Chain A
């Protein structure tokens, strides 16, 4: 594969992904405050900064936050642990294979 082909492929990928990002990022213009027909915005959830409190605020909907937090943290743990185990397993497989090939070379290519 020549450098020109590689460069052309990279350029093509950049255009496709960049185009997708630009198209998806297009937002409708924000409504003017004086416009009575403008839809009201939902209240933002601490967009500018977080305000700490000692007590939990009263629940406003039925979605249990504790379950969502538990799922989120469990997912993080499982993913991180699973990934480390996957690297470990792949590394062990390669090491075993290396030993096997080294032995084969040592015995002059004959299978034991």
Chain B
């Protein structure tokens, strides 16, 4: 990964530079018009957030059962990324909703469950920071719970009455919209992989620094 980091970073940067032009060229949606363009960043970021929550959950499970510190480092990094991506989703969604629905926020199943998912990962990060000894295992449990929440968030639009577009939107996208959407998704997945790598490296370095301090004290 170390060798591939720079080429992948260049590709990701190029994709993010191209993305606005590709989105601009995509057709308008018949009922929502220009504001629907938020979809090309909002939905791929939400999907990347789900991937990130899964990575955190799997890392947490591995850490809980095997006590591998590497898995814990990946989990805490993915939790932070889920939190960052989550706040983007929770801000861009209402900006779209204000024009499309006439309101900034609705306490419906999708929006509320997404907020709960984001709060779960906030709880994870707060536990890691202020939980004291043993908080890594406790946080791993929260990470598992966060991962378990993802399918509920995804299916909530199909089960409960909601204003939010259903899951059928993405598979039925017209060709002019499909290309930009998957292009942006790929760009965000690449961004996720790169930042996860960087953030995991930071955790590893912190552990090494802690070991160095212990060595210095001895």
Pair A48/B166 contact, Cβ less than 8 Å: yes
Pair B34/A10 contact, Cβ less than 8 Å: no
Pair A76/B92 contact, Cβ less than 8 Å: yes
- Digit string of A47-81 for contact with B (CB within 8 Å is 1, else 0)? 11111111111010101011011011101100110
In the bound complex, what is the Cα–Cα distance between A48 and B138 (angstroms)?
40
CB distance from A37 to the nearest CB of B (A): 18
Interface class of chain B by DSSP: helix
Interface class of chain A by DSSP: helix
Count residues of B near A (Cβ-Cβ below 8 Å): 77
Q: Which A residues are CB-close (under 8 A) to B129?
A: none
CB distance from B93 to the nearest CB of A (A): 9
Count residues of A near B (Cβ-Cβ below 8 Å): 59
Q: Which B residues are CB-close (under 8 A) to A6?
A: 134, 137-138, 141
Pair B199/A45 contact, Cβ less than 8 Å: no
Contact partner, B160, options A13, A25, A80, A83, Cβ 8 Å: A25
Pair B30/A101 contact, Cβ less than 8 Å: no
Q: Which A residues are CB-close (under 8 A) to B156?
A: 25
Q: Taking CB as reference atom, which chain B residue is nearest A82? A: B84
Contact partner, B101, options A42, A54, A71, Cβ 8 Å: A42
Q: Which B residues are CB-close (under 8 A) to A109?
A: 216
In the bound complex, what is the Cα–Cα distance between A7 and B173 (angstroms)?
44
With contact pairs A52-B176, A80-B191, A101-B213 given, residues A25 and B99 touching in the complex (Cβ less than 8 Å): no
